[in-house]
Amino acid sequence: NKEFTLKVTGHEKEFLIPKDKSIIQVLKENDIFVPMSCENGVCGTCKCKIKSGEVEHKDMVLNANEHQVQKLFTPCVTRATTETLEISV
């Protein structure tokens, strides 16, 4: 895992996602609410939208249309491959 910078649409602050924390953990620490359940990439509850940047999908629940067309990803397991990722929650 590599660290990267996360931007959340509508929030001025940028977040550093360290190697050992998921996006959803950092959002929670900063009081940005994303519904979650499994925290393991299998339920899809946490899905958010990618606005810019690239990810390596790690979930087992979203389909190709959701990944490629709707630009959805699961912040409980999926991480950025680019230095910066912007999402909307």
Name every residue whose Cβ is closer than 8 Å to that of residue 10 and which is 6 or more positions away in sequence: 88
| Beta carbon of residue 25, minimum distance to ligand FES (angstroms, whole number) | 11
User: Taking CB under 6 A as the rule, does residue 41 contact ligand FES?
Assistant: yes
- Window contacting ligand FES (CB under 6 A); options: 2-10, 30-38, 48-56, 65-73: 30-38
What is residue 57's DSSP assignment? Answer: -
How many residues line the site for ligand FES (CB under 6 A)? 14
CB atoms within 10 A of CB 80: 22
Please report, as ranges, the residues that interact with ligand FES according to CB under 6 A.
Answer: 36-39, 41-46, 59, 61, 74, 76
